Amino acid sequence: MKTFLKLVVALVVSLSATFASAQALKPFILGSKGPGDLAAKVEETKRALTGAGFTIVGTYNPYANTSLIVVTNDELKTTAAQSKMGGFGAAQRVSVVKVKDEVQVAYANPIYWSNVYRMGGDLKGTQEKLQAALGKVEEFGAKGLTAQQLRKYHYMMMMPYFDDPDRLIRHPSHEAAVKAVEDGLAAGKFGVTKVYRIDIPGKKEVVFGVAMKGEGKDKIMDDKFIMGEIDFRDVKSAAHLPYEVLVVDEFVYALSARFRIAASFPDLSMTGENSFMRIMECPEAIKKALAYTAGDKD
């Protein structure tokens, strides 16, 4: 009888684990919403994050009524070091957005993005710390995808996967590659500037968060323009930003915008209003601006 009970318990535990792994995940988590002052809420959010053990590595105000706070911690950096190109997931993005009379605090869902970036752990500890610091009203941004689906994610046939990044340029050495990106971001002449930098421990790998601004014919790589087309729902997905550039050894990479944007907005339709068709020229413009910033002269 005891053996039978042990088997039943083991089966229940196994089924529970299977169910948990098959649960639908969404790209963002709404921490709180309510009346308030944007600037005051930004400062309150920063204090909550540092109090929870996060290090603020950068801030970014991409357009009116929107502030982004980018953080990291030991779990994020250690987990990033455990997988190929894990540096894309070394930061967590937090947004504070004023929508009419309401201030929304939201953050990228660590478990969702750890699977998108095929990281060596699920970042559950980071998710718990963010939730404790900022709260949790709901997950949002998509109908939801399982961890297994996210690790193989692409928007549709012929669209890139995570392991199909844009290789922007190769430099003579890792040090030269990092310097070229630093110099390009500091110059900002292609509309791309630095939001943050995180060095991945134990590897020749550095991730940069970047702001992208363009006017006139270059507006198609502009963060404000792109988000104005696709971030149209009542609860804002501003924590999609900022975009990343990753230096691995002597190579400089960025995730294809056809992958990176789709991973944040997987339910966005291909055609019609507020669709990918509205930004169809943006991925190539982003790739070109990032490549020039990283030192490409062609």
186 closest CA partner among 170, 159, 210, 202: 210
Cα–Cα distance for residue pair 133/65, rounded to 1 Å: 22
pTM of the predicted protein model = 0.91
Report the pLDDT value the prediction gives residue 216, as an integer from 0 to 100.
87
Report the pLDDT value the prediction gives residue 166, as an integer from 0 to 100.
98
Give φ, ψ of 138 to 5 degrees. -170, 160
Report the pLDDT value the prediction gives residue 158, as an integer from 0 to 100.
87
Report the pLDDT value the prediction gives residue 19, as an integer from 0 to 100.
41
Query: For the chain (length 298 residues), average pLDDT per consecutive 10?
Result: 46 40 88 97 98 98 98 98 97 98 97 98 97 98 97 94 98 98 97 98 98 92 97 97 98 98 96 91 96 93
List the structure tokens of 55.
Answer: 């290090």
Cα–Cα distance for residue pair 295/298, rounded to 1 Å: 9
- For residue 189, what are the CA distances in angstroms to 50, 53, 76, 186? 33, 35, 31, 9
Domains of the chain: 25-293 (3.30.310.70)
- For residue 289, what are the CA distances in angstroms to 84, 141, 280? 24, 27, 16
Report the pLDDT value the prediction gives residue 22, as an integer from 0 to 100.
63
